[in-house]
């Protein structure tokens, strides 16, 4: 949920560019980008919600389109990575209406994640430890209407703080493998609900406490400066969120309704192929 309108991408750039211009001379003197990654792939996505006693309320499954862009930058003894991840597509929805009638429809999802990682390698070792800050602005989940059952759309904002570990190993024929593990948590996500079911009212909620665990593996050839090279990546992530506190909402009819976000779990498997440019 947002307490105000989400800034447009143009507005964000207008705020960001002057700051980048101010910092550019210092950054250029000390740090130079060393790697650029581009990736496209597919993501198997599952979502299910649970009631207060642990019963499953609904389940969604589907395959989403996925894309990623990352820039690596060694600076001040750390290896920094700025990364953008995008996902979009549909999931099949199986659940029940408020009257208990079985319901099948589709949800349309779209999300984006910006993150900044900092890695500290151990000298003479294949291991590194890392931390990251992530932001998922205006992630969307829209449920299609079915007959007399009206759909609605969710908009979710989430900040992430994570700790990670990385292990890189050499493979035959000058290839490399790299494992990463991340444990994330952060402030409670904010959720906005809009749709015919709520009339002209925008319902604003706060979700429960959450955490996520992610594992990833990347396969790539040994880097060669000035050349584009292929890479293949796999990632699994599981996010669990507890139920949020109910909020009293007055509908257009004057009726008072208690609305809350149930506990849920989202699990994603992603396979991505891409190109990597080593700059130095």
In angstroms, what CA-CA distances link 42 with 68, 138, 188? 11, 21, 28
Q: In whole angstroms, give the CA distance from residue 73 to residue 128.
A: 15
The CATH homologous superfamily to which domain 50-278 belongs is: OPCA outer membrane adhesin/invasin (2.40.128.100)
Residue range 134-146: average pLDDT?
Answer: 93
Domain ranges of the chain: 50-278
Residue whose entry in the numeric block shows the structure tokens 């990670």 = 164
Residue range 127-146: average pLDDT?
Answer: 95
Judge whether 137 and 157 are in contact, CB under 8 Å: yes
**Position 252 confidence tier, pLDDT thresholds 50, 70, 90:** low
Judge whether 214 and 235 are in contact, CB under 8 Å: yes
Judge whether 153 and 140 are in contact, CB under 8 Å: yes
Q: Residue 96: helix, strand or coil by DSSP?
A: strand
- pLDDT 10s digits, 157-176: 999 999 999 999 999 999 99
Nearest Cα to Cα of residue 204 among 245, 150, 265: 245
Residue range 127-153: average pLDDT?
Answer: 91
Residue range 249-266: average pLDDT?
Answer: 82
Judge whether 279 and 225 are in contact, CB under 8 Å: yes
Q: Which residues pair with residue 131 across a beta bridge?
A: 118, 163
Instruction: Please state the pTM of the whole predicted model.
Output: 0.84
**218: pLDDT strictly greater than 90:** yes
| Distance between first and last Cα of the chain | 43
pLDDT, position 172: 93
Judge whether 238 and 204 are in contact, CB under 8 Å: no
pLDDT, position 156: 96
Backbone dihedral angles phi then psi of residue 125, each to the nearest 5 degrees: -130, 160
Output the average pLDDT for the chain.
87
Judge whether 7 and 248 are in contact, CB under 8 Å: no
Backbone dihedral angles phi then psi of residue 17, each to the nearest 5 degrees: -60, -45
- pLDDT 10s digits, 114-136: 999 999 999 889 999 999 999 99
Residue range 5-26: average pLDDT?
Answer: 48
**26: pLDDT strictly greater than 60:** no
Which bin fits 228, alpha (ψ -120 to 50), beta or left (φ > 0)?
beta
């Amino acid at each position: 949920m947002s307490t105000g309108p989400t800034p447009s991408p143009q507005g964000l750039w207008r705020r960001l560019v002057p700051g980048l211009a101010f910092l550019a001379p210092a950054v250029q003197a000390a740090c130079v980008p060393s790697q650029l990654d581009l990736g496209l792939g597919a993501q198997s996505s599952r979502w299910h919600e649970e009631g207060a006693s642990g019963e499953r309320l609904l389940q969604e499954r589907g395959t989403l389109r996925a894309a990623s862009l990352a820039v690596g930058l060694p600076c001040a003894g750390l290896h920094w990575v700025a990364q953008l991840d995008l996902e979009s597509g549909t999931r099949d929805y199986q659940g029940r209406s408020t009257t208990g009638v079985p319901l099948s429809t589709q949800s349309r999802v779209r999300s984006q994640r910006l993150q900044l990682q900092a890695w500290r390698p151990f000298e003479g070792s294949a291991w590194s430890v890392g931390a990251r800050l992530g932001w998922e602005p205006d992630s969307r989940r829209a449920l299609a209407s079915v007959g007399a059952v009206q759909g609605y759309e969710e908009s979710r904002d989430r900040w992430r703080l994570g700790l990670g570990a990385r292990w890189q190993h050499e493979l035959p024929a000058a290839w490399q493998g790299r494992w990463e593990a991340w444990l994330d948590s952060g402030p409670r996500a904010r959720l906005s609900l809009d749709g015919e079911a709520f009339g002209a009212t925008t319902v604003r909620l706060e979700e429960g406490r959450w955490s996520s665990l992610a594992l990833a593996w990347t396969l790539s050839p040994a880097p060669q400066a000035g050349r584009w090279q292929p890479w293949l990546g796999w990632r699994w992530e599981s996010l669990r969120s507890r139920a949020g506190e109910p909020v009293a909402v007055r509908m257009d009819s004057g009726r008072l309704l208690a609305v809350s976000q149930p506990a849920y779990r989202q699990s994603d498997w992603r396979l991505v192929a891409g190109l990597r440019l080593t700059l130095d």
